[in-house]
Amino acid sequence: VEMLACAKGQDSNEHRFSGGYYTTLLMQSADRWDQRSTQPGTHSTKDAHDYAATLLPPQQTPEYSPSWLDFPFAVKI
């Protein structure tokens, strides 16, 4: 899959200490999923993207393609 922090012609925003907002929110989605998950399962790339997309400022529109495809969002903590 292709996960982009913003659409063409837009700027992605970042925090001077924690880095890019989109990347930070992707990682936050995995952490929140891990904390709330009580059964074995999979947090997908689409789930992570959708979480981040809802929390970004409106001037930053992330893109995910192809929209029908997702994979496990693997993070080593």
- pLDDT of res. 77: 63
Q: Is residue 29 pLDDT above 70, yes or no?
A: yes
Rounded CA separation 46/50 (Å): 6
Asked if 40 contacts 13 with a C-beta cutoff of 8 angstroms, the reply is: no
* pTM of the entire predicted model: 0.84
Q: What is the pLDDT of residue 12?
A: 80
What count of Cα atoms within 13 Å lies in the side-chain half-sphere of residue 71?
A: 9
Residue 58: pLDDT band with limits 50, 70, 90: confident
